[in-house]
Structure 1
Amino acid sequence: MTQPTPLTDTAALTRNRARAHLSALFLQEAARDEVEDRLEMVNKSFSSAGIVAAFPSLWHGRIDGAEVLPETETLALTPATHDLVIHSLGLHWANDPVGQLIQCRRALRADGLLLAVGLGGQTLHELRACLAESEAMETGGLSPRVAPMAEVRDLGALLQRSGLALPVADTVSLRVQYQSMWHLMRDLRAMGETNALAARTRSLTRRNILNRAADIYANGFPGDDGGIIATFELIVLTGWAPDDSQQKPLRPGSAQARLADALKTDETPLSD
């Protein structure tokens, strides 16, 4: 049986992250801060956290007693050990995101919490559009240059497939202003988020394609005070390991009151 071609070249991703600068990891820091804010709103204390992170050093000392692990295809999480598992901003590069969530689910004790953050489909939509338009105009074709990222509804469905209860998926949008497309691309390199697609073109992008894309970007997505705007979308996934103490949906047809009565309106039956 032929194995499917992986989306991500993990060796290239490892090289990209090794070249990253800690001072440029504002997206990773934003994901970490978002997780910490969410935890403050949870009416429960956690004593055994496991944290999966592309840059573990950003998490050291943030949660007392937490086990911080590098993000790999097979996670070094011990089953049924943690009451909290955090997966920090790496799902968009995972060749098997469902598998990542299932591994996190297995590491949870009953009623344990998973908080995962990934980049969503609106991330860098401006850059993708400009590069695509420029390449189509210059060459008549397209090359994969930016990783495809899932929409919030798709990632929400992954929570249910991984066996988590009470699944919730929502988004946080970050709009960042840069001086130019060149400054944005330099920042992506510094944060280890440059192209690591397995199907990427190995040759250097022609300069005329990039120059045209930079002009399209400057004209199409200007910033408030000059420069350009880049969007980063964080998708936050929350789910719980199933437990009998959790709320359960009512059985269909078991309602004790009519919605029409609560709204003080007449109920109009639909025709067959």
Structure 2
Amino acid sequence: RRGVTAIVLVILPVFALIFLGWLLRRRQFPGEHFWAPAERLTYFCLFPALLATTLARADFSELDVLPMAGAIVAAILAMTGGLLLARRALGLSGPGFTSLYQGAVRMNTYIGLAVAYGVAGEAGPTLAGVARQVASNPLILGCAAGGALNLSGLGLPPVLGETLLILGRAALPLGLLCVGAALDLRAARRAGGPVLLSSLLKLGLLPALTWAGCWALDVTGTAAFVAVLFNGLPTATSAYILARQMGGDAVLMASLITAQTLLAMLTLPVVLAPLVP
């Protein structure tokens, strides 16, 4: 019960920011033109700064990084193999299947880092940065810069480091507002079988597989928490853009993103409570 309460107290502010982003866009404030540039700013500038500064200051000496990465990747590979084997039985078109697959394996890193920070402090984002690097199309330059500064022993340069720290602090709040602004509740109301299946796989089966991988690889504590957290997150809002650009089912993807983001408010406390460090 304490674990559930702790997770809920961390998750509520995260989803409050998401709701605020949805409400602001619905009220057309500060304007429809604001959100796309804000998302690009977060992705290409603020988020790399957050990853670089976190990894530059990280203490990797006591972190089970490789076993944690193994648990994350093994679960995603198992999910991928299962979906490929079941593709014919699912009866989906090519675009529909690719959208279902994205919904079953991709994760929303803004939510993940916010929760990891709230529960595990500095160690959470450190492992979360590594988790993103191995599992979710990473921002390699930010991770590489932070890792290089860490391994070289130089740390963050005095002026540049403070500048990056200030930029990084803006990444999560603005990123979460953008997540909320991207939600489409009308699309979620049209949710059908593929949306329900993808949500079950992403929010239920994938974290369970990750939990099993952590147990098999003897990953415990904060590392196990972050691994299960990242594979239990709702799918990334950028999956809609990818589906639209690559010929996927963009309408289905919009439904998946919204439904999973809303359902995650209920599933994350249940999945993560036993693993609270």
Sort the TM-score into its range (normalised by shorter chain). under 0.3
Greater per-residue helix proportion = 2
**TM-score, structure 2 as length reference:** 0.25
Calculate the TM-score normalised by the size of structure 1.
0.25
Higher relative contact order (CA 8 A, sep 6+): 2
